[in-house]
Structure 1
């Protein structure tokens, strides 16, 4: 993973490679990066309820991360310290079955939030996620969400509500799929 802005949130225990350190020396300035994050948030249907001015403020709390195909984002059972919004690429969601094998339970595409359950409820990760292709992610750390709640509570509330609505829709869809079986 190459971190583009902010502190490491994905694979924090992993050391950044020399190539990543070299990339960081050539990072775009914070104003340009904030505008890029703002534009990505605006492209995400998840946040349709935010006002145009809210995106600029919210962008300051998000970071960008790039991943290469096959890279693990987080593992089932990990502490949930961040959530992601997939801007570009494909993510495989996997759970460990009774025999210890990893089983793919979902494939996520652009615009999809994931990892939010652990950030919102404080529980451990319920599944593993890995990059099924090269990916560009927006990340929001649990600490950044807490900071946003203190500094920009109205915007944070809108983001949390959008996440809750998305979770609710997914649960309703899963309930419908179970009934169809």
Structure 2
């Protein structure tokens, strides 16, 4: 994974503008004041991934923070133990979802500080915005109302995904 900072950025200013537009459309920063939003944009990292590159692995504890897809796709998978009835030793990957531009992932680490609950892998060339948890903490210190808005929006995403998971489980049983 390459962090796109400084002169390595492809037309750095244009990429930052594209990222700012994607972040604004993602819904995560709804109702966040412009000045605080600009602070977040200035303090996030642009990361370029190649096809098949792993962003993070299930149970990783670092880096803490969340990602937003700027371009490309990310698939989220989890490892499940092979069932006894299948008599297959070991583990296998289970596809959870495919994410595209404006979609976020890794939010749970901002909420509970726990390890990653799944593995994220780039599908094709992919650009991501990484917002480290220390940027979120600084946002809380600078603007508690904005922090509330961000966490409310993150909570809405997590709740939507939980409802989707509940629906999927109901239809598996």
TM range (shorter): 0.7 to 0.9
Cα distance change of structure 1 residues 86 and 113 upon mapping to structure 2, 3 Å threshold: same
Q: 2:149 aligns with which of 141, 152, 158?
A: 158
Instruction: Name the counterpart of 1:13.
Output: none
- Between 1 and 2, higher relative CO (CA 8 Å, sep ≥ 6) is seen in 2
How many residues of Structure 1 are paired with residues of Structure 2 in the alignment? 163
Instruction: Name the counterpart of 1:106.
Output: 97
Unpaired runs of 5+ in structure 2?
82-89
TM-align CA RMSD? 2.4
Unpaired runs of 5+ in structure 1?
6-23
Q: Which has the higher strand share?
A: 2
Asked whether the 8 Å contact 2:2–2:49 carries over to 1, the reply is yes
Cα distance change of structure 1 residues 132 and 35 upon mapping to structure 2, 3 Å threshold: closer
Moved over 6 A (4+): 28-33
* CA distance in 2: counterparts of 1:109 and 1:30, whole angstroms: 22
**TM-score normalized by the length of structure 1:** 0.77
Aligned with 2:59: secondary structure?
A: coil
Say whether residues 1:142 and 2:113 are aligned partners: no
Q: CA deviation at 1:29?
A: 9.1
Q: Residue deviations 1:125-177, cap 9 Å, x none?
A: 11111101211111111111111111232222211111111111111122223
Q: CA deviation at 1:40?
A: 2.4
* CA distance in 2: counterparts of 1:154 and 1:32, whole angstroms: 30
Larger Rg: 2
Say whether residues 1:39 and 2:30 are aligned partners: no
Say whether residues 1:78 and 2:60 are aligned partners: yes
Q: 2:163 aligns with which of 147, 162, 172?
A: 172
